[in-house]
């Protein structure tokens, strides 16, 4: 066995791909393919903005058609229960610290998901004290409509 064959055997680990070295330059075709794939991604901030807009529209419609201010404030608070924790998670996930390594990204997803759930639950527990009088149907309906924005963002993204 010559030294090149033994070097290859020692270095041939299934999780290392020699073709994808960190300093390797992309060809024009590879760069174009990468740009084409990145156009399909949806910004988390755009999703948050659309959720806030949907929540605002639903709150106004609930106030106008319901004719009651408690429906307006309840619906607006329902939108906040979705938007505020979502914005916290988006901020945490788009920070430079969360993209340091794959391990840091995984920990970041778990951490910010926990924060998002905790803030959502805390806001729901405080709803009856902060919004007087509270209309649970208006709050929950607005929450559901704001959360549906995630599905529309995924549909828009395509394959």
CB 68 within 8 A of CB 96: no
Mean pLDDT of the chain: 84
**pLDDT higher than threshold 60 for residue 15:** no
Tell me the residue range of the domain where 49 lies: 44-157
Domain count, the chain: 1
Which positions ≥6 away from 127 have C-beta within 8 Å?
Answer: 77, 81, 134, 139
- Quickly count: other Cβ atoms within 10 Å of residue 78's Cβ: 30
**What are 116-131's pLDDT values in tens digits?**
999 999 999 999 999 9
**What are 52-87's pLDDT values in tens digits?**
999 999 999 999 988 889 999 999 999 999 999 999
Q: Which of 108-112, 129-133, 154-158 has the lowest mean pLDDT?
A: 154-158
DSSP conformational letter for 101: -
- Predicted model pTM: 0.73
Within a domain: 8: no
- Quickly count: other Cβ atoms within 10 Å of residue 61's Cβ: 14
2-18: average pLDDT: 50
């Amino acid at each position: 066995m010559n030294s090149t064959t033994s070097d290859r055997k020692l270095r041939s680990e299934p999780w290392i791909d020699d073709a994808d070295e960190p300093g390797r330059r992309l060809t024009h075709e590879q760069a174009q393919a990468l740009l084409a794939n990145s156009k399909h991604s949806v910004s988390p901030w755009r999703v948050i903005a659309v959720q806030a807009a949907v929540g605002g529209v639903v709150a106004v419609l609930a106030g106008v058609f319901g004719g009651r201010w408690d429906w307006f404030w309840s619906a607006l608070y329902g939108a906040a229960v979705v938007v505020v924790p979502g914005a916290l998670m988006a901020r945490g996930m788009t920070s430079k610290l969360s993209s340091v390594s794959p391990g840091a990204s995984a920990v970041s997803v778990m951490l910010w998901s926990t924060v998002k759930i905790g803030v959502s639950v805390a806001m729901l527990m405080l709803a009856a004290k902060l919004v007087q009088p509270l209309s649970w149907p208006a709050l929950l309906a607005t929450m559901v409509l704001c959360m549906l924005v995630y599905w529309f963002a995924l549909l828009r993204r395509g394959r």
